[in-house]
Amino acid sequence: MITSCSSGSAPAGDAAADETTTTSSTPPPKPVSLTTGPADAAVDVAPGVPVVATATDGKITSVALTNPEGVAVAGRLSPDGLQWTNTEPLGYQKTYTLAVTGEGADGKPVTKSSTFTTVKPRTLTYLSVNPQDGTTVGVGQPLAFYFDEPIADKAAAEAMISITTEPRVEGAFYWFDEKTVHWRPQAYWAPGTKVTINAKIYGKHVGNGVYGEEDRLITTTIGDSVIHEADGQTHQVVTKVNGQVVRTMPTSMGNAENPTPTGVYVLTEKHAHMVMDSRTYGLSLEAGGYVTPVDWATRMSNSGIFFHSAPWSVGDQGNRNVSHGCLNLSPENAKWVFDNAKQGDVVIVTNSGGPELQPWDGFGDWQVPWDQWLKGNR
Q: Are 328 and 235 in contact (CB under 8 A)?
A: no
Q: At 11, is the secondary structure helix, strand, or coil?
A: coil
Contacts of 58 (CB under 8 A, 6+ apart): 30, 31, 32, 33, 102, 103, 104, 105, 110
Is residue 248 predicted with pLDDT exceeding 90? yes
Count other Cβ atoms within 10 Å, centred on residue 69: 6
AA identity, residue 165: T
Indicate the range of 98-107, 185-194, 286-295, 340-349 predicted with least confidence. 286-295
Q: Which of 63-77, 94-108, 248-262, 272-286 has the lowest mean pLDDT?
A: 272-286
Residues designated catalytic:
308, 326
Torsion angle, alpha carbons of 70, 73, 77, 78, to 10: -160
Report the alpha-carbon distance of residue 216 to residue 129 in Å, rounded: 8
> In this predicted structure, what is the pLDDT of residue 24?
57
Query: Cβ distance 96 to 70 under 8 Å?
Result: no
H helical segments located in the chain: 12-18, 154-160, 331-340, 370-373
Is the pLDDT score of 280 beyond 90?
A: no
Q: To 5 degrees, how large is the angle CA 284–CA 285–CA 286?
A: 90
373-139-324 Cα angle (round to 5): 80
pLDDT, tens digit (0-9, with 9 covering 90-100), for 17-51: 444 445 557 888 999 999 999 999 999 999 999 99
Mean pLDDT of 335-353: 98
Does the pLDDT value for residue 2 go beyond 90? Answer: no
Would the pLDDT of 325 be above 60?
Answer: yes
Contact 154, 181 (CB under 8 A): yes
Which tens digits make up the pLDDT trace of 107-166?
999 999 999 999 999 999 999 999 999 999 999 999 999 999 999 999 999 999 999 999
Average pLDDT of the chain is: 93
Specify the pLDDT at position 26: 83
Judge whether 111 and 63 are in contact, CB under 8 Å.
no
pLDDT band at 291 (very low <50, low <70, confident <90, very high): confident
| Gyration radius of the chain's alpha carbons | 35
H/E element holding 264?
strand 263-266
Q: How confident is the model at residue 187 (pLDDT cuts 50, 70, 90)?
A: very high
DSSP codes of every residue in 122-187: SEEE-EEEESPTTEEE-TT--EEEEESS--S-HHHHHHHEEEEEES---EEEEESSSSEEEEEESS
Contact of 340 with 273, CB cutoff 8 Å = no
